[in-house]
A and B are shown apart, each in its own frame.
Chain A
């Protein structure tokens, strides 16, 4: 009896499988169900590591010009097509100086030495045994929005990804660097810490000890999973609110020193040239900045009516206190709604309801942080810093909406 029950069950199961299989075949042939049809095709089964819908094609912008050397490699986050405040790890912008190394965590150590009583080497597993914290912070390349210094708005077709896509925001998990330094017992004479990566160019930056003891993290995880290789797997430095380059990836060593090393990156590269020929050095803070991400350059509004203006605001010096929107090129400003959570040194999402009347408009956002600093017009920054400082453009981004609904870069020289 028992046997026959089993057989009946198996037969039923087999028939069901057959039905599912033919349904799947039909589904494959027609690709998608016709509109309005009842969903009958069985879906895909479970999977070990999730993937996104094939209909979602948001991707990082990769410069396809093969003459751009690996030393200058960058890819840009699709800010228009990311939502909320967290950037998916797969869409986090990239900037590397000698490519993405493949590092086996079993062979990787973080060594802390120099002006310390007790040099120590930590494996990633060692670090995971120590008290960790998770923090949500933006990371922005100081070269973000670089095109607008020399030729503001020149590339009218430029979109928010191409201009501003070198900023992203993640939840980072790691061990406070202050804890690691204390464990090594730092000499009071140490005022700087050299941070060095394990990539082919051994990317190196000098960081003031004060920042290291304040909020620096030795990070091993991003958005709930281990760091992506292009974000420094298995370990990176995170300096909340400071320029991307100083957040050294593939971190292999921290050396307590009584002076900065004056590495190539902190002298010849990430310094801001002023009109008088001098250059500002160790310009670490990323100042308050906001951008409307949607609607933005490249979009076409369907016609007059309701649109939600949304975007992101952030400040390397603290928390966003206020975001305002203009639709008349900066003549008048009205407050936008800040979506919680509003976190220090993190992207903050803002929203504003716009009833478009179908006429030409120049739309922009500007933000103020809790230090009282307000994001300046681009022209005011250029008036002080000239057009050759390359880095740290946090000026207001204008988008020009034409009567036919097309939106282009509205910055002016």
Chain B
């Protein structure tokens, strides 16, 4: 009796195992490449290009910086293009313009327009300084970001920005963006919802 029972159990277990393996195989077939062209990138290759930072802070490296520290980096690396206080140009004006967006002469700056502080970190990291991009250390990017936000009155001079505090910053124009409502004219125009 015992042998019959253990044989039945063994058969049952084998059947389940076979079922699981078959299912795995089927899934593998369903997800296998059709063409087999291209190769798997190495971990190092992915790390080198996987640079974007999203509003939730994903992609931020460990590091830190304050506006007080960023002032030095800004003066050395940014001021020629953005002016002593971020308002003078000649390139993009970074500071000021709060409350101007609905006026006839809106000023779109980091302080008045940019919805996420993470975007500032990301852009400085990927593209700044314009003629020498990707030459700042992570700490320098945190510090420069802090300084530009400080000039806009968004963080204090000694507030530390790091991978935790940066995504928590609530930018003044955070809720200033709406989804595309077009077509907004003609017979096909969507009804105004507000």
Where the two chains meet, the residues of A that have a C-beta atom closer than 8 Å to any C-beta of B are 67, 69-71, 98, 109, 111, 113, 117-122, 126, 129-130, 179, 182-183, 185, 194, 196, 200-202, 204, 252-253, 255, 257, 259-264, 267-268, 271, 273, 275-285, 287, 371-374, 376, 380-381, 384-385, 387-388, 392
Point out the residue from B35, B41, B90, B92 that lies within 8 Å of A67, measured CB to CB: B90
Point out the residue from B104, B133, B177, B183 that lies within 8 Å of A271, measured CB to CB: B177
Residue pair A262, B54 in contact (C-beta under 8 Å): yes
Point out the residue from A119, A179, A202, A374 that lies within 8 Å of B186, measured CB to CB: A374
Residue pair A130, B37 in contact (C-beta under 8 Å): yes
Given A129-B37, A392-B182, 16 more contacts at CB 8 Å? A71-B91, A117-B31, A118-B33, A122-B37, A126-B37, A182-B34, A183-B37, A202-B126, A261-B122, A273-B108, A278-B176, A278-B178, A280-B181, A287-B182, A287-B183, A381-B185
Residues of B within 8 A of A182 (CB): 34
Q: A86 → chain B, closest Cβ, in Å?
A: 28
Which chain A residue lies CB-closest to B43? A119
Is residue B76 within 8 Å, beta carbon to beta carbon, of the partner chain?
no
Say whether chain B's binding surface is mostly helix, strand, loop, or mixed.
loop
Is residue B145 within 8 Å, beta carbon to beta carbon, of the partner chain?
no
Residue pair A196, B56 in contact (C-beta under 8 Å): no
Total count of chain B residues near the partner, CB < 8 A: 53
Residue pair A69, B91 in contact (C-beta under 8 Å): yes
Contact residues, B112-137 vs A (CB, 8 A): 113-116, 118-119, 122-123, 126-127, 130, 133
Residue pair A279, B185 in contact (C-beta under 8 Å): no
Query: Can you spell out 19 A-B residue pairs with CB atoms less than 8 angstroms apart?
Result: A71-B130, A113-B46, A113-B50, A117-B31, A118-B33, A119-B41, A120-B40, A182-B34, A202-B127, A253-B49, A261-B52, A262-B116, A264-B119, A268-B110, A273-B106, A280-B180, A372-B187, A373-B188, A380-B185
Which chain B residue lies CB-closest to A276? B102
Q: A84 → chain B, closest Cβ, in Å?
A: 29
User: Using an 8 Å CB-CB cutoff, how does the interface string of B24-35 with A read, 1 for contact, 0 for none?
Assistant: 000000010111
Residues of A within 8 A of B53 (CB): 261
Residue pair A268, B114 in contact (C-beta under 8 Å): yes
Is residue B169 within 8 Å, beta carbon to beta carbon, of the partner chain?
no
Q: B12 → chain A, closest Cβ, in Å?
A: 32
Q: What is the number of contacts between chain A and chain B, taking CB atoms within 8 Å?
A: 163
User: Using an 8 Å CB-CB cutoff, how does the interface string of B153-194 with A read, 1 for contact, 0 for none?
Assistant: 000000000000000000000001111111111111000000
User: Using an 8 Å CB-CB cutoff, how does the interface string of B62-86 with A read, 1 for contact, 0 for none?
Assistant: 0000000000000000000000000
Residue pair A373, B116 in contact (C-beta under 8 Å): no
Which chain B residue lies CB-closest to A273? B106
Residue pair A281, B34 in contact (C-beta under 8 Å): no
Residue pair A279, B102 in contact (C-beta under 8 Å): no
Residue pair A255, B50 in contact (C-beta under 8 Å): yes
Q: B46 → chain A, closest Cβ, in Å?
A: 6
Residues of B within 8 A of A129 (CB): 35, 37
Residues of A within 8 A of B40 (CB): 118-121
Is residue B5 within 8 Å, beta carbon to beta carbon, of the partner chain?
no
Q: B172 → chain A, closest Cβ, in Å?
A: 12
Residues of B within 8 A of A204 (CB): 52, 126
Residue pair A111, B49 in contact (C-beta under 8 Å): yes
A372 to B185, CA, bound (A): 12
**A121 and B38 contact, Cβ closer than 8 Å, known pairs A278-B176, A373-B183:** yes
Point out the residue from B38, B126, B180 that lies within 8 Å of A120, measured CB to CB: B38
Residue pair B119, A267 in contact (C-beta under 8 Å): yes
A220 to B51, CA, bound (A): 25
Q: B15 → chain A, closest Cβ, in Å?
A: 28
Point out the residue from A257, A264, A371 that lies within 8 Å of B188, measured CB to CB: A371
- Between A185, A194, A264, A282, the greatest number of chain B beta carbons within 10 A of the residue's beta carbon is seen for A264
Please name the 6 residue pairs, one residue from A and one from B, whose CB atoms are nearest each other, closest first.
A277-B102, A277-B101, A201-B127, A120-B38, A264-B123, A121-B41
A187 to B154, CA, bound (A): 38
